[in-house]
Structure 1
Amino acid sequence: MRDDSIIELGAVTVNDQDSKPGKLTSRDIASSVDIMNADKIADQNVLTAFDLMHRMPGIQVTQFGQGTTTGKFSFRGFNGEGRINAVKLLIDGIPSNTNDGNMPFIDALFPLDIESIEVVRGTNDPRYGLHNVAGNVNMTTSTGGNYVKGRVSYGSFDTHDIQSGLGYEKDGFSQNYQISYRASDGYRDRSASDKNSFSGKWFYEPTDKYKVGLIARWSEAGAQEPGYLTYAQQLASTTQATPHNPLDYSKRTIGQVSAHLDVNVSETLFWSSKAYSNIFDDQRLVMFHPAFAQVKRDRDEVQYGAITSLTYHPTISWLDDFTIETGFDFQQQENKYRQYRLTNGIPRTPANNTNIRNDEDWSFLNYGGYIQAVIKPTKWLKLTPGYRADVVDGDFFSNRPNSTTPGASPTFGAFPLNDYGTISQPKIGAVITPIEGYSLYGNWGRTFQVGLGQATFILNNNQKNIGPSLNDGWEVGVKLQPVDWAEGRVAYWMQDASNEISRNLASADSTMIGPTKRQGVDIEVKVYPTDRFGVWAAYSLQEAKTTNPSARVINTMEYVAGNQVVNTPNYLFSAGLDYQITQEFRSCLWTSGQGNYFVDQANAAGQHGEYALLNLDLGYQVSKEVELQFQAKNLTDAQREYLWYDESYGTGQRFPFYSPGDGIAFYGAVSVKFDY
């Protein structure tokens, strides 16, 4: 009996690994889970892999359109700006967030190499701690098989890319390689970019007893930054670049290497371990407004860590099924952040407190463990109690010169860590399936948020210890699949934070904005009555509000009780129609969009951001190995923009910044795959 709450988009590929015993997966979590498979991914023309999330249900995609800082995705009422990074990203099971929770490691992925994207929403998944505030996303890439595949495309804005992949498997040893390159002049003036990526996978599985492997991934990217437009400028032309910042650019290098070991200790006991290292080197020169200084931002992060779990799946006569898993993970980070002012690309002198905005070195350690049980007293009832605990440690040293202003807090020296203590996170979930195809599920859980970057530490003489912000959330939903070709899911959820931490996008400082409440409804349906025709649709209502901000927050940030958290759309939607016109000719017409949001914390500057995009995908199978592809994006040439309302300064110096999204665009491609 199927008793999960998962909905999949695209063709499901079943392999031998699916039937083997192993560690618990998202299918064992009593929560809303969505999976998008390779056939809905490989033919997409995207600047960065986060753009693939437009098709995923209930996902907000925030597009900055500035150099390598292209955008981010988020869900469950958390925005994608970076003020509150609430989604844990994993690539092939490896943690892939930077220290502040952002997701630049996604740059190394190209669509042709992605096998699936899995989204787990909610607070009751105990496998992950840090950044797992609203849920997690795992992107898996090609492993195993014997194939040669490639894709060459060209389209609007002189966009061209080459993607290639090779798989070879024999006698228990598999090798997979991927090399890709992409370049574009961009929709706007002075927005050219290019990116390359390489990855290799080597796995050895001589018997069913164990499997050992190594994954390496490297990517380099560079881009011009067209700048943020004023309201009048974007009305005049959405393709123009701002005249005050001709030197703005960004470049980025990322790398990941991981070792994997899976061992079937016995028929009922499974051990899985991973060790990894991530590097992130990012440089950005930016001038947001003529009234602002030009700044150079340098980030350098090195992460290393390990994840291990032990899964026990015995046969118990008085239970229908039982599994218990315990796990431990840690991540150590060594981070550097420099931000200094320039004039015409040259650092300003003297090197004092005014001209050096940040000069920081800090270590950050997070470790935690969990226990998760999956108990089925009967075929129609599944219970998933769990518990997780996390600890945060680290040290911080600032090289920024002290201010000469009398009474100012020191900015030079070592600063202590906030005492977060042991962060306790109980979880519980249940799925009731009284009739095959009809499941009622619910869950409750706790996740956490701590200060990131300098906000992890006590930097002010008058600052008190700040504990973690605890996020308590619950969800109740129903999953329906009355027939094989139709399924749907409806869920209502709520999530309360005890003392939410919001980052200032301009200064990298953080502020506790106090308790917040998020709630929403997610609706999904998928109907494929024949092999040739199918429709899918998703609609999410959501809201995020402050409930009891402190007097300091009210006075400085202008949040008051009941205000909506900025840049959180009140609804999200996606839908598509798949039609196989002939045996060789396929089509997909699909749309995605979002509602309006408030751009300022006082909720006084109006609502912005609503858009709807219409896209068309066509494919013609010339032969078993070769397909011709065509894609039209934003068919109606809808105007949309990301709007950032900078609140770093007093009310008389606040500016709304506009970054227009791409207009109508067309792409053609040839995709080949030879299996041998």
Structure 2
Amino acid sequence: MSAFSKSLRVAAFTTAACIPQVALANIEVDADRDYLPTEIVVTGSLDGYSEDDGSTGTKTPTPLVDVPQTIAVIGQDQIEDQNLRQLGEALRYVPGISIETGEGHRDAVFIRGQETTADFYIDGIRDDAQYYRPLYNVERVEVLKGPNALIFGRGAGGGAINRVAKIADPYGLTLAGNASVDSFGGFAFAADVGTPLAEGIGLRLNATYEQFDGARDVFEGEFFGIAPTLTAEFGDTQVSAFYVHDEDDRVTDRGLPSLGTGPIQGYDKTFFGDPDYNRATANVDIARLRVDHKLSDAVSINGTLQYADYDKYYGNIVPTGATATTVTLSGYDNSTDRQNLIGQANLVAEFQTGEVGHTLLLGVEAMGQESIDGRNRVLFAGGATSTTVPLGRTISVPAFTTTFQRERNSDLTTLSFYAQEQLDFGPLQLIAGVRYDRFELDTFDVGSSTALSRTDEKWSPRVGLVFEPLEHVSLYASYSQSFLPQSGDQFTVLSSTTALLEPESFDNYEIGVKWAPRPNLLITGAAFRLDRSNTQATDPLNPGAVVLTGASRVQGIELSVTGRLTDNFDISGGYTYLDGEVREDTTSAVAGTRLEQLPEHQVSLWGRYKLTDRLAIGTGVIHQSSQLVPIGGPVRLPAYTRVDAGLFYDATDTIAVQLNVENLLDEDYYPAAHGPNNIQPGDPLNATLTVRMKL
């Protein structure tokens, strides 16, 4: 057997849903592989920041070192040490990701140069509406780099972001809580309570309330979330039920306009909007039921059904340009009502034919989605859609009204089948599979009374080789593919043009190495090339039409280290080099243009060092090179370096106090943008004091 080969005996294992199982996923290690733990209980880290669960990347119980793909994991210990409460905060420490401001009301990122507002998952199930995702009920965050439609379906051109939810323990008590206050005046409370209800049945409740504030002149809001979970075991069957209710209400902050080639200077605290109109609200309800059943020692099945209801609204006055003395403003409000129903089922069989080990995955997924998206336009005096006002420390927004602009209704249905085989030949392992997707979108534009539809059927392959020349080292090479319909990742409406066009295609080639020098430390390196094709371009023979001849390429290298360097020192960090450009003219840029929000160099490093049994210190650094916003334009976000710090003290065995300081050196920096005139300044020095209790 190979160095990383396992005999996997799983009573109820994690698959793409990647639900943490409590004392269920026992992974027996060959006797000569003692650098890996004899048991992986995927409820968090192995030890400190260490992680070894790679099941999200394969839909099978596969160790992280055996997945031929770059995967970054932020575990529960790191989430607590950095006092992370929202997904966007956690992603700032992941190399290869640039933060997009998301119009001040949603998660939006660039992964390896590919923008997305929809490639988000919870326990492997799609969670694609536009809102800010909290972490109060999350065990860990996984970032899987590169397109991989076999696992995730359409989209995920640069990768996918999966949150693993906390799960109830049928056999143990959970009692934890924390309270935080920061130097801006914001505060938060959270509780995590779990108890067995009967033999094999456990209930867990996570809840939080947060009020936030910031350095900007007008910014405030509140968040409330509650997430009960229930786990029940009946012999070889486990049933897990989840429910999440989140309410978010905050100011819509669109940041600063640009002037010349960068952010306008001297106005980092100025609010370029209307304090009453610039509001964003989100009410999110997600209910999920999962059943795992062991048919035999070698065969297991699971099924998940998820219903999600998203009710979103945001209104904003937004800067659209500036001079040395004036700023131009426009505005609109937008509402989205969306319901998703997703069903997924998987069968995993493990068996041996001669000297070859097999792990076979067969799966099916179906989805129905209904969306209503409406927008009203702001009108100023005389019916103008924009106005120019004096530039000053405080912006005075003239009186305005709103009028109907559009309403778009869409019905999306998908049906997918996939198969994957993992073959173990000893020192060589092969992962190969393919997914079939049938994608049907019907849209209706209320304003124009236009109904359009399009159906796509796509095959998406994946293949990877893992070779283990030494006991602690694996080398891999992989190819994967994904696609995205021309309607975009939110699928609100088709146009007469996009209804006729084939989906965009993403092809990823990657080689890498993973090295586990000790049981709780993983060092990885990868080189990749990501080609995007079927991008819209202007037809040279008919300038009024578009053709699918546009293309772009991103290539680079990524290095990371995660885990315990010494008995007292935990570390999580990495470096990414990115080079990307348009290769064939698109409708937004000509060949040779560097892609937007693609910093050439990214460095992130966070470490915690234990000084005594009760006292520890932490420090972190984030660096990004300058980056274009948008593609082809003159505006750049300047390069920046941010330093963070932490101090941790265990007052008793159950009470801990920590102090986190973000932007310790109080640097002026601009980490995110949404085009050239919505540039978000980073916060100045901010200290947060947290008290934690855990029994």
Q: What is the TM-score normalised by the length of structure 2?
A: 0.82
Establish whether residue 328 from structure 1 lines up as the match of residue 364 from structure 2: yes
For the 8 Å contact 1:445–1:473, the answer to whether it is kept is yes
* One of 674, 678, 683 as aligned partner of 1:657: 678
For the 8 Å contact 1:185–1:192, the answer to whether it is kept is yes
* One of 624, 631, 634 as aligned partner of 1:594: 624
Secondary structure at the counterpart of residue 233 of structure 2: strand
Deviation at 1:316, TM superposition (A): 2.6
1:120 corresponds to which residue? 144
* One of 540, 543, 548 as aligned partner of 2:579: 543
1:368 corresponds to which residue? 416
User: For 2:60 and 2:491, how far apart are their aligned partners in 1?
Assistant: 34
2:436 corresponds to which residue? 389
Q: Check 1:598–1:513 CA distance in 2 against 1; reply closer, same or farther (3 A cut).
A: farther
User: For 1:122 and 1:645, how far apart are their aligned partners in 2?
Assistant: 23
Deviation at 1:541, TM superposition (A): 0.6
Establish whether residue 615 from structure 1 lines up as the match of residue 644 from structure 2: yes
User: For 2:693 and 2:562, how far apart are their aligned partners in 1?
Assistant: 29
| Identical positions, percent | 19
* One of 460, 472, 475 as aligned partner of 1:425: 460
Deviation at 1:193, TM superposition (A): 1.2
The one-letter code sitting in structure 2 at the alignment partner of 1:175 is L
2:93 corresponds to which residue? 55
Structure 1 gaps, min length 5: 5-12, 401-410, 503-509, 647-654
Establish whether residue 636 from structure 1 lines up as the match of residue 665 from structure 2: yes
Deviation at 1:661, TM superposition (A): 1.7
1:265 corresponds to which residue? 295
Q: Check 1:500–1:47 CA distance in 2 against 1; reply closer, same or farther (3 A cut).
A: farther
Structure 2 gaps, min length 5: 6-19, 29-54, 320-326, 386-401, 538-545
Secondary structure at the counterpart of residue 678 of structure 2: strand
For the 8 Å contact 2:440–2:453, the answer to whether it is kept is no
The one-letter code sitting in structure 2 at the alignment partner of 1:17 is L
Establish whether residue 359 from structure 1 lines up as the match of residue 397 from structure 2: no
Q: Check 1:608–1:560 CA distance in 2 against 1; reply closer, same or farther (3 A cut).
A: same
Establish whether residue 256 from structure 1 lines up as the match of residue 251 from structure 2: no
For the 8 Å contact 2:562–2:572, the answer to whether it is kept is yes
Cα offsets for 1:1-43 (capped at 9, x unmatched):
5539xxxxxxxx9952221799504635321222222111124
* One of 69, 79, 95 as aligned partner of 2:126: 95
1:532 corresponds to which residue? 568
Deviation at 1:538, TM superposition (A): 0.8
2:174 corresponds to which residue? 147
For the 8 Å contact 2:99–2:109, the answer to whether it is kept is yes
Spell out the pairing of 1:17-32 with structure 2 (5 A cutoff): 17-19=24-26, 24-25=60-61, 27=63, 29-32=67-70
Q: Check 1:348–1:393 CA distance in 2 against 1; reply closer, same or farther (3 A cut).
A: farther
Spell out the pairing of 1:193-232 with structure 2 (5 A cutoff): 193-207=221-235, 209-231=236-258
Secondary structure at the counterpart of residue 463 of structure 2: strand
For the 8 Å contact 1:193–1:222, the answer to whether it is kept is yes
Spell out the pairing of 1:10-49 with structure 2 (5 A cutoff): 16-19=23-26, 24-25=60-61, 27=63, 29-46=67-84, 48-49=86-87
Spell out the pairing of 1:484-523 with structure 2 (5 A cutoff): 484=519, 487-500=522-535, 514-523=550-559
Between 241-250 and 443-452, the greater mean CA deviation after superposition: 241-250
The one-letter code sitting in structure 2 at the alignment partner of 1:224 is V
Secondary structure at the counterpart of residue 642 of structure 2: strand
2:450 corresponds to which residue? 413
The one-letter code sitting in structure 2 at the alignment partner of 1:199 is A
Secondary structure at the counterpart of residue 217 of structure 2: coil
User: For 2:328 and 2:96, how far apart are their aligned partners in 1?
Assistant: 38
Deviation at 1:487, TM superposition (A): 4.2
Secondary structure at the counterpart of residue 565 of structure 1: coil
The one-letter code sitting in structure 1 at the alignment partner of 2:361 is E
Secondary structure at the counterpart of residue 656 of structure 1: coil
Deviation at 1:73, TM superposition (A): 3.6
Establish whether residue 295 from structure 1 lines up as the match of residue 332 from structure 2: yes
2:346 corresponds to which residue? 309
Spell out the pairing of 1:59-208 with structure 2 (5 A cutoff): 59-63=97-101, 66=104, 68-69=105-106, 71-79=107-115, 84-85=116-117, 88-98=119-129, 102=130, 104=131, 106-107=133-134, 109-110=135-136, 113-124=137-148, 126-143=150-167, 144=169, 145-169=172-196, 170-207=198-235
Cα offsets for 1:258-286 (capped at 9, x unmatched):
11111101121111100011111111111
User: For 1:561 and 1:18, how far apart are their aligned partners in 2?
Assistant: 50
Deviation at 1:566, TM superposition (A): 1.5
Q: Check 1:262–1:493 CA distance in 2 against 1; reply closer, same or farther (3 A cut).
A: same
Spell out the pairing of 1:546-561 with structure 2 (5 A cutoff): 546-550=582-586, 553=587, 557=588, 559-561=589-591
2:600 corresponds to which residue? 570
The one-letter code sitting in structure 2 at the alignment partner of 1:314 is F
Q: Check 1:48–1:394 CA distance in 2 against 1; reply closer, same or farther (3 A cut).
A: same
The one-letter code sitting in structure 2 at the alignment partner of 1:195 is F
For the 8 Å contact 2:242–2:287, the answer to whether it is kept is yes
Deviation at 1:90, TM superposition (A): 1.7
For the 8 Å contact 1:125–1:135, the answer to whether it is kept is no
Q: Check 1:521–1:274 CA distance in 2 against 1; reply closer, same or farther (3 A cut).
A: same
User: For 1:245 and 1:293, how far apart are their aligned partners in 2?
Assistant: 14
Secondary structure at the counterpart of residue 583 of structure 1: coil
Secondary structure at the counterpart of residue 88 of structure 2: helix
Cα offsets for 1:334-369 (capped at 9, x unmatched):
001111113489x999xxxx9533211110112211
Aligned residues: 610
Secondary structure at the counterpart of residue 315 of structure 1: strand
User: For 2:346 and 2:453, how far apart are their aligned partners in 1?
Assistant: 32
Secondary structure at the counterpart of residue 131 of structure 1: coil
Between 364-373 and 531-540, the greater mean CA deviation after superposition: 531-540
For the 8 Å contact 1:545–1:565, the answer to whether it is kept is yes
Deviation at 1:60, TM superposition (A): 2.6
Q: Check 1:182–1:271 CA distance in 2 against 1; reply closer, same or farther (3 A cut).
A: same
Deviation at 1:65, TM superposition (A): 7.9
The one-letter code sitting in structure 2 at the alignment partner of 1:627 is A
Secondary structure at the counterpart of residue 45 of structure 1: coil
User: For 1:464 and 1:150, how far apart are their aligned partners in 2?
Assistant: 51
User: For 1:41 and 1:327, how far apart are their aligned partners in 2?
Assistant: 32
Cα offsets for 1:443-463 (capped at 9, x unmatched):
011111113368676523x67
Deviation at 1:177, TM superposition (A): 0.4
Deviation at 1:486, TM superposition (A): 5.4
The one-letter code sitting in structure 2 at the alignment partner of 1:308 is A
Q: Check 1:43–1:330 CA distance in 2 against 1; reply closer, same or farther (3 A cut).
A: same
Between 629-638 and 283-292, the greater mean CA deviation after superposition: 283-292
Secondary structure at the counterpart of residue 114 of structure 2: coil
Establish whether residue 583 from structure 1 lines up as the match of residue 613 from structure 2: yes
Deviation at 1:50, TM superposition (A): 2.3
User: For 1:163 and 1:424, how far apart are their aligned partners in 2?
Assistant: 44
User: For 1:245 and 1:188, how far apart are their aligned partners in 2?
Assistant: 12
User: For 2:310 and 2:439, how far apart are their aligned partners in 1?
Assistant: 21
User: For 2:367 and 2:461, how far apart are their aligned partners in 1?
Assistant: 21
For the 8 Å contact 2:487–2:494, the answer to whether it is kept is no
Deviation at 1:152, TM superposition (A): 0.4
Deviation at 1:57, TM superposition (A): 4.0
User: For 2:288 and 2:244, how far apart are their aligned partners in 1?
Assistant: 9
User: For 1:511 and 1:456, how far apart are their aligned partners in 2?
Assistant: 22
